Amino acid sequence: MENLITWGFYFMTFYAFIPGLLSRVFGYRVFKKGDVTRELALTFDDGPDPIYTEQLLDLLKKYDAKATFFVVGVHAKQYPELLRRMKQEGHTIGVHNYEHKTNWLMRPKTVKKHIQLTNDIIEEVTGERSIYYRPPWGIMNLFDYRNVSKLHIVLWSSLFGDWSAKLTAEKLTKRMLKKVAPGEVLLLHDCGRTLGADVDAPRNMLIALEAYLKAATDKGLKMVTIPELIALSEGKQQQQQQQQQRSIGKRVLIKLWLGWETIFHKMMKLKPVHIHVEDDPMLHYRLIKYKGNELELHKDEKLNEGDLIAELHFDNKRLSEIAFTSKNPLVVAVKTIREVEKALPKLAVMLAAEKQAKDIKAIHGITMINRGADKLGFSIHELPDGFFKRSTEIYLHILMKVLTPPQKKELISKHKAAQKQTAEEPRILLMSTNYLYKHFQQHL
């Protein structure tokens, strides 16, 4: 009898307790928290629920928040229309077993079957199989790592006991508001129809969640799906690794360059265009009189010498971050234009608030990164031949060489091929303020 108990103890230790310790405490082969600056993930287990999941989706839509739903197969089979809506509204759907049973009490073959059955339902409804899995109660067994070798195991950084109706909305709100921070993976429940939960507990969760969403939005935080949070975390880690790869000489050079840029911004009295207060701006501007040849704007408008313009400048710190985490200049161009697109609504508001707002004819910038700028409404013009064009070209080539990472030998040919797809010479980007206000001011 003693031998039987001893062997049972050893079995449970290796089959259940050690895997649980590795995953829950040490994070072995699981994702628990993001390494990001302004994003967090909301995750919901046990649904979908015919009453509360629909209310939850309405609330997420109100705050433009994306989430990840780990669904129980039997519930998903009952309410496929809710899975369909999750997919349509940009949320991610993950697997939470076919029934809400712990993996400790199931054979490896049974766990595998639970995952497959649930994924079959997800695929039938959405057209895609999920690659994200959360075991009930976050409990793993020894064979789960093999069963889910092709899946991302997702746990959490914060849970609150919201499955119990005894936890009031007020108490739950207080607990949740302590976790309004980047990188958090919050575990909540949109269904109380599982063992140990209360059917109406999600009612309190929804009240607390609205307070949380408001607080997170006010802080400038963005609620994203698990795949987005994983991608952003990996991108930041890659950036940190690449930063470490920079030579000491290059790091010193970049530091000096960015230090000079700070002085230049103060001398020129450039104004930063902050999308969020806590983020570095992508653009800066100053109001000056245009000097140069007549240029075409939109709808027969023309820019003439002496007209007031907002002269745009990239923030080279942000440009450095983009360049050093991009594989080639083409990717740099795409990412940069996307950042500019995000900044234009804020720029429109700032220009409209200037004392000389009615006199500002256009926004104007000179850059080598102009691929795709026409899609935003910029007209692209060549610089007139002369000393200014040659000196600008040299400056911008040196700048990109300093900011971008060294290319490995095997990537040089690809690097050169990508360069051919991007502009090799600086160009003038021009947009009338009338066009800017009409197409971007209302998007803030």
How far apart are alpha carbons 275 and 231 in whole angstroms? 22
Please give the pLDDT value at position 13.
46
Backbone CA torsion sign across 220, 223, 228, 231: positive
pLDDT value of residue 423: 43
- Beta bridge partners, 283, equal 273, 314
Query: Quick one: tokens of 236?
Result: 């930041």
pLDDT at 253: 66
The reported pLDDT for the residue numbered 408 is 44
**pLDDT at 90 (0 to 100):** 96
pTM over 0.85: no
Cβ–Cβ < 8 Å for 120, 70: no
User: Contact 433/363 with Cβ under 8 angstroms?
Assistant: yes
Among the listed residues 348, 333, 341, the one whose alpha carbon sits nearest the alpha carbon of residue 421: 333
pLDDT confidence of residue 415 = 42
List C-alpha distances in Å: 252 to 23, 175, 230, 238, 266: 41, 45, 31, 21, 21
Domains of the chain: 2-229 (3.20.20.370), 246-443 (no CATH)
**Structure tokens given for 329:** 């200049």
Structural tokens at position 386: 């002369």
Spell out, as residue ranges, where the chain has pLDDT lower than 50: 1-2, 4-14, 407-423
Quick one: 421 exposed, middle or buried, by C-beta within 10 A (0-12, 13-18, 19+)?
exposed
User: Do 154 and 68 meet the contact criterion of CB atoms below 8 Å apart?
Assistant: yes
% the chain with pLDDT above 90: 55
